[in-house]
Amino acid sequence: MALLPLLLPRAELLFDPVFLPAAEATALLAQLTAEVAWEQRAIRLFGQEIPQPRLTAWYGDPDARYTYSGLAWEPRPWTAALRALRQRVEAATGARFNSVLLNQYRDGRDSMGWHADDESELGPAPAIASLSLGATRRFRLRARPGPRPAPLSLDLPGGSLLLMRGPTQQHWQHALPKTSRPVGPRLNLTFRWVSTGNA
């Protein structure tokens, strides 16, 4: 399949639920879980430092430094697997990426709260390509202040690719809520372009 548009006001979303074959997605889940240098950093919430409810890692070109939620990231060098995935995602989306944020959700208790990828180094209309591996999890989108269309729920199966681009981050927030359902581990790779001042 190719990336197909999802109808959402003031947003550009494209989705391919079977971007990677199932067997390849399963193999990549095991490989990246084992070889990526995962961290669990602390964030400040309501005046307290708490560990993020997931494991994270940042890979990319040497100058692709990134800061979000008060956390500064220096990129680790691309692995062969991540470099190959970047090339395939670039070919599918027509976008360029110099970095990837990886999140590991170990079970249904791991989550991502409401946010937008609107940091200044991403630019005003970033392309964010989100590749899922492992267990299917429910992705949620809600409008930021302004007109309030109904929130969107989208199940992201292993091997799926979601592209958010254009004005999406200006007008929408997204989240990966906790779930009480028994679910296996999931990896999410969000490829992005971080402005480095070089190009």
| Element holding 26 (H helix, E strand) | helix 22-35
Question: Is the C-alpha dihedral spanning 117, 45, 178, 131 positive or negative?
Answer: positive
Q: What is the per-residue pLDDT for 197?
A: 65
Structural domains of the chain in order of their starting residue, each with its CATH number: 12-192 (2.60.120.590)
Residue 121 exposed, middle or buried by CB count within 10 Å (0-12, 13-18, 19+): middle
Looking at residue 8, its pLDDT comes to 87
Instruction: Render pLDDT for 25-64 as a digit per residue (tens, 0 to 9).
Output: 999 999 999 999 999 987 766 677 778 899 999 999 999 9
For residues 105, 64, 17, 136, the Cα torsion angle rounded to the nearest 10 degrees is: 0
Sign for the pseudo-dihedral over CA of 179, 58, 133, 96: positive
> Mean per-residue pLDDT for 17-27?
97
* Euclidean distance between CA atoms 85 and 78, whole angstroms: 10
Decide if 99 contacts 61 (C-beta within 8 A).
Answer: yes
Predicted model pTM? 0.93
Q: How confident is the model at residue 158 (pLDDT cuts 50, 70, 90)?
A: very high
pLDDT of 149 over the 70 cut: no
Tokens coding 19 = 């971007």
